[in-house]
Amino acid sequence: MKKTILLLSCLVTTAVFAQKQQIDTAQIVIPNRINAEKTLEKPYVILISIDGYRYDYTDKYSAKNIKQMADSGVKAKAMIPSYPTITFPNHWSIITGLYPAHHGIVDNFFIDEDRKESYQMSNADNAEDGTWYGGNPLWSLAEGQGVVSASLQWVGSASDAGGNRPTYYYRYHEKFTPEQKVDKVVDWLKLPADQRPHFISLYFPEVDSAGHHFGPDSEQTEQAVQLIDQAIGKLITNVNALHLPNVNFVIVSDHGMKKVNKDEPIRIPAMLLNKDKYEYINSQSLLRVHVKDKKDIKATYKALKKNKTKDYQVYLAKKFPKNLHFSTKDDVFNRIGDIFLVPDAPHIFLENFKKTTTGKHGYNPYAVPEMKAIFYANGPEFKAAIEIDAFENVNVYPLIAEILDLEVQQPIDGKIEVLENILQ
């Protein structure tokens, strides 16, 4: 296992949103915050994200601790990620209850045509600037209603999105092991009652990193699943030993993972290389085109469609499938672009001479089942030993708000009716 941890530690240094600059690893605490008196009687919710944990990994890789929690509580057949099935958009959808085109984090990298700026997840100045993020994240909702919260490196948790950072949080870095993260969560729950967070969000990147580098069917991905399973087993054991009343665990993932055809990639259409006329963002499983002169959109679309290969589809952004909620009609922030080039899985777009990884995500979760994520919940607030049908991830937000008796203060896409039947 020490060998496994060393391998995964090396992998995570190139994880999906690694920071190039030096990041302070110290905990940040917002001073003078305590729980409101009524909060002291509220449940606790620990929301755990395992990045890149595909819907079938629990059984595929015999994750015994996660399986025991799922089997004895609530487990979904799958959770449907928002489109595109990429890390930053989906973490922000889970924590705000909004589709990416409604909260604005439409990709890990994107162009805001109104701001005339670009967002890059690897840029801390972007990632920690709340003006990029729409919606009201759960920690901000909680803090605004007298509920102390904490976050261990969930996407956007170091920003002031929504107006309130968590009382306790860490800037993103990759120096903590999964077990160290568990210890920090337990330490938060050992704080005096008035300072103790009732909502905690926790993020693990290891499974995603292994899946990218070695593919979803690899020994390394199995090892990463086992590593996180052990950490979650330790977390549950150590939290239960505190004998706090009404502690609830919710385990989710942002998306799945698929082995792609990286040896025969689709090349970027030559016309898009004209930077005077076009800008494009290539996440490899989706290529989004911004046409600089909007009068050229229709002609560009026709040219791209005429010259395309059989391995991808071309869409006008305003006519993208409605069930994906990713058309220009949905685009609140003017960020998704004008034309989409969508490869058929397992194909990807790749620039000449650029290398890529074995595993990818980002595809349509309704067409590519390997994109599906997980949802497991266990604790006094949840029914025991039930399985539910797949549902969209935007519905996690109103569920947690309901458990914590928080008033949702702005329109969201998630609906409490979808999951209220899993509550006691």
Residue ranges per structural domain of the chain: 2-260+366-422, 270-355
The Cα-based distances of 347 to 32, 105, 312, 383 in angstroms read: 52, 24, 8, 41
Task: Give the Cα separation of 151 and 17 in Å (integer).
Answer: 17
Q: Which two tokens stand for residue 252?
A: 């989710």
Peptide bond into 365 cis (omega under 30): no
Q: What is the DSSP letter of 383?
A: -
Phi/psi of residue 345, nearest 5 degrees = -60, 140
Please report, to the nearest 10 degrees, the dihedral formed by the alpha carbons of residues 70, 255, 81, 249 taken in order. 30
Residue 29, beta-bridge partner list: 168
- Second CATH level (architecture) for the domain 2-260+366-422: 3-Layer(aba) Sandwich (3.40)
Which pLDDT value is given to residue 22?
57
Burial class (CB in 10 A: 0-12, 13-18, 19+), 308: middle
Task: Give the Cα separation of 383 and 213 in Å (integer).
Answer: 38
**Cβ distance 359 to 259 under 8 Å?**
yes
Decide: pTM greater than 0.75.
yes
SS3 percent helix, strand, coil of the chain, rounded to 5, is 35, 20, 45
**Cβ distance 124 to 117 under 8 Å?**
no
Which pLDDT value is given to residue 23?
63
**Cβ distance 304 to 288 under 8 Å?**
no
* Closest listed residue to residue 400, CA positions, set 254, 255, 191, 249: 249
CATH 3.30.1360.180 holds for 270-355: yes
Q: Which two tokens stand for residue 49?
A: 């994200």
Which pLDDT value is given to residue 24?
80
Residue 157: how many CA atoms within 13 Å on its side-chain side? 30
Positions in the chain whose pLDDT score sits under 50: 1-21
Phi/psi of residue 205, nearest 5 degrees = -95, -5
- Three-class secondary structure assignment of 222-270: HHHHHHHHHHHHHHHHHHHCCCCCCEEEEEECCCCCEECCCCCCECCCH
Task: Give the Cα separation of 136 and 133 in Å (integer).
Answer: 9
